[in-house]
Structure 1
């Protein structure tokens, strides 16, 4: 069954090109590549609403997609501005279209804010590398997004902001010490949104590229003693990407199959397709 997806890039043109220089793709291009690997016959299109000249679909056009995916971003919602406003407007149109949507990190924040929630700079500070001890709520343990996750798990993460208050129609599915809302489902004006504060779409290589790119900032914030330490950390991530069987490195960084096994790391996305996209497509008579 062919599925048509829209991947919404959260970054500005400058930030997209910076990520491309360090990793080889933009966030949205990497997300689209993952979706086509996970879903046979999937067709992905990319939208860049942070760009002033972006041509964006309205709710009618969005109804032509089977699923919408929102990437991370270096933007901050509370800074406002046209690049932020256009993304909120697009997400409101996604809700109105009835097309199921999934968001990672910034994507969760946009999904929440567009429905009436609030986003703030995390008073507990940045979460980087891996979100630790993510614990599903009672609702999360029964929700298909997290059905096979253990009682506590790790996931790739890079964020400074968090959802502070959730909109009406939200079910919080998981949280941890640094981010009480690590996963949520939002139902708003007939639309369905699943979001996570972490990055199930990130490979360890992509995470390594981000750590290297912001190594000086992370050193200033106390995550590493020096930039060389950040680069060594990134090198370990690349080694684990190439050889997940390196138990010494997995032990050193406190990660297991929930991160090292690509199928488990990306499971929330695959479950979204199976439990939200496919049923919605069938209900619309497109099966």
Structure 2
């Protein structure tokens, strides 16, 4: 029998609708497509805890899933608005269910706060486009989530906030010069979460669409000098998505197969399915 995933969308209704209008899919739909590309036998349900009155699974419902995946979000978790508090509460329920869970960017931040850690704006500023020179820690070098990753690698990323105080049950698995918590395992409340601060689920095309909506940030924060320069960067990413063998563009932007090869770019998600979801489904006799 196939795998059953719950994909938890971190965005509000307006934000995910904007993403669908510009990319064709909501972030949760895009993430579900990645999961189904890796595990074609899987079925994905979507949850929208940012929405007031959202129909969210209870403890028994969470236990019926083989895996839970949390997307990124435009929200800032330290604002603690009702749409954020509902997501923290849901993450605590996910821990309590014991269901294997994984998250990208916002997903890692929610998991950290739900386990009594803290998240704040990064004093080093925003990481945008790609997280560079990600290096596994000693714990990460032997951890199955990073199996197959080299001694240093890049990954799609866009975030200002970071985990500033890891919770008690956190093992940091990868770091770089921008953030010391780039990948982590968190154990809390009876469950274990794997997560990354970057976005292994993003194709270059999806990343290009997101950056195309953030010209003001790219120029205002000094990543690009002009709007035209930002547009050229976005165009290069779209061209690489269409032609990943464009050596000229890969060289210009310092990208290698860890980013350009979809199988290698999604390594952490593949490892989550291989090392956590499938074995625990079998061990727990899920139906």
What is the TM-score with the length of structure 1 in the denominator? Answer: 0.98
For 2:218 and 2:59, the matched residues in 1 are separated by 40
Which residue of 1 is the match for residue 190 of structure 2?
Answer: 190
Q: CA deviation at 1:110?
A: 0.4
For 2:51 and 2:218, the matched residues in 1 are separated by 28
Which residue of 2 is the match for residue 227 of structure 1?
Answer: 227
For 2:62 and 2:286, the matched residues in 1 are separated by 15
Count of paired positions = 287
- Runs of 4+ aligned residues of structure 1 deviating over 3 Å after TM superposition are none
Which residue of 1 is the match for residue 144 of structure 2?
Answer: 144
Which residue of 1 is the match for residue 111 of structure 2?
Answer: 111
Unaligned runs of 5+ in 2: none
Q: CA deviation at 1:184?
A: 0.2
For 1:107 and 1:166, the matched residues in 2 are separated by 14
Pairing 1:59–2:56 present: no
Deviations 1:6-28 (A, max 9, x none): 00000000111111121111110
Deviations 1:235-276 (A, max 9, x none): 100111111111111111011000000000001001001101
Counterpart secondary structure, 2:125? coil
Pairing 1:285–2:285 present: yes
Moved more, 46-55 or 276-285: 276-285
Q: CA deviation at 1:217?
A: 2.0
Which residue of 2 is the match for residue 86 of structure 1?
Answer: 86
For 2:76 and 2:38, the matched residues in 1 are separated by 30
For 1:189 and 1:8, the matched residues in 2 are separated by 19
For 2:3 and 2:25, the matched residues in 1 are separated by 23
Which residue of 2 is the match for residue 180 of structure 1?
Answer: 180
Which residue of 2 is the match for residue 259 of structure 1?
Answer: 259
Pairing 1:161–2:161 present: yes
Which residue of 2 is the match for residue 44 of structure 1?
Answer: 44
What is the TM-score with the length of structure 2 in the denominator? Answer: 0.98
Unaligned runs of 5+ in 1: none
For 2:123 and 2:83, the matched residues in 1 are separated by 24
Q: CA deviation at 1:60?
A: 1.6
For 1:106 and 1:218, the matched residues in 2 are separated by 20
Which residue of 2 is the match for residue 247 of structure 1?
Answer: 247
Pairing 1:22–2:22 present: yes
For 1:179 and 1:204, the matched residues in 2 are separated by 22
For 2:76 and 2:59, the matched residues in 1 are separated by 25
For 2:255 and 2:227, the matched residues in 1 are separated by 23
For 2:40 and 2:130, the matched residues in 1 are separated by 29
What CA RMSD, in Å, does the superposition of the two structures yield over aligned residues?
0.9
